[in-house]
């Protein structure tokens, strides 16, 4: 293979050796995967979504199988901000020396700000990824991310308390994803991550009950890939800031397709749960596929379609 192949990409001034990032919630804080392979081969890691308070998550069952993917309603289970900053991040930083992506969630603007401030002062964190797919408890419980105004408000508030790049992770459960992405950019976002899970539901026909205790959950896996590619392409046309694309990616071919649609980097989610070596495999296969497709520099194909 020629030495000409360059898999590196740059997100807001941060250079990644390759665009492959495990998605938040599918990689924990890296410990389990570190027993399988060297985490330093990854572009970065988006670690488990962090909230101010520790959370046990939703009632079980909270995972359901479906064709071409899975449903989950885990409910942001995590040890809470203090424990994540004091214990989890330093432990992960020992296993992976790359700038990390801190995924934060909140149920009010103040909670997002509290999490962002803490991540701002945590050295191993390179990018703050703001998950706006959370219910706004103070405004009737609808998800922040379904409203352009609320998403922009969170973006502004988080940007005001950190000097690190802020990427807003958008929910796909909206009519017009591009207008919400544009609102984020106008409010100062450095980048956009998309898509989060699609809302889905399964029913156990023998028990005549929903399979998930929470009735509905997030649908992820290969089934949502075409939706994710479409949304990344739409957002790419609407904004000038970088995009981290995700949603059903499970092969090197998928990575190239997502990047051609407009993603500068990608996150691998549900596939980690099916095959814990998937990120490593894709990283190894990317240069071979690039050579086959005549791509010398991976960053050249971003948004070419």
Distance, in Å, from the CA atom of 201 to the CA atom of 199, rounded to the nearest integer, reads 7
* Among candidate residues 118, 190, 130, 177, the one with its CA nearest the CA of residue 154: 130
Query: Angle at Cα 233 formed by Cα 174 and Cα 10, nearest 5°?
Result: 115
Residue 283 φ then ψ, to 5°: -60, -35
Q: Which of 115, 134, 184, 279 is catalytic?
A: 134
Cα 66 to Cα 68: distance, rounded to the nearest angstrom: 6
| The residue to which tokens 């397709």 are assigned | 257
Longest dimension (CA), the chain: 59
CB 49 within 8 A of CB 80: no
Q: How far apart are CA 214 and CA 204, in angstroms?
A: 13
User: Has 134 been annotated as catalytic?
Assistant: yes
Give me the active site residues, please.
Answer: 134
């Amino acid at each position: 293979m020629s030495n000409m192949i360059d898999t590196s990409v740059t997100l807001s001034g941060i250079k990644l050796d390759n665009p492959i990032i495990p998605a938040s919630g599918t990689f924990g804080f890296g410990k389990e995967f570190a027993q399988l392979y060297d985490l330093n081969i990854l572009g970065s890691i988006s670690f488990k979504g962090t909230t101010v308070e520790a959370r046990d998550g939703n009632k079980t069952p909270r995972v359901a199988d479906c064709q071409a993917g899975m449903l989950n309603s885990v409910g942001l289970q995590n040890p809470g901000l203090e424990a994540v900053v004091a214990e989890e991040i330093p432990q992960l930083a020992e296993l992976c020396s790359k700038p990390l992506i801190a995924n934060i969630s909140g149920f009010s603007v103040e909670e997002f700000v509290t999490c962002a401030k803490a991540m701002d002062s945590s050295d191993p964190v390179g990018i703050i990824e703001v998950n706006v797919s959370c219910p706004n408890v103070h405004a009737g419980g609808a998800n922040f991310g379904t409203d352009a105004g609320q998403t922009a408000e969170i973006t502004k508030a988080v940007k005001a308390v950190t000097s690190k790049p802020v990427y807003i992770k958008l929910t796909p459960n909206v009519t017009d994803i591009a207008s919400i992405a544009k609102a984020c950019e106008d409010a100062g976002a450095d980048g956009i991550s998309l898509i989060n899970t699609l809302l889905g539901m399964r029913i156990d026909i023998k028990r005549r009950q929903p399979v998930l205790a929470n009735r509905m959950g997030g649908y992820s896996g290969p089934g949502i890939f075409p939706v994710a590619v479409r949304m990344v392409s739409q957002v790419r046309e609407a904004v000038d800031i970088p995009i981290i694309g995700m949603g059903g990616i499970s092969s090197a071919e998928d990575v190239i397709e997502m990047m051609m649609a407009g993603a500068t980097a990608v996150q691998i989610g549900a596939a980690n749960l099916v095959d814990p070596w998937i990120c490593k495999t894709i990283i190894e296969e990317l240069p071979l596929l690039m050579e086959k497709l005549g791509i010398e520099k991976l960053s050249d194909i971003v948004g070419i379609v």
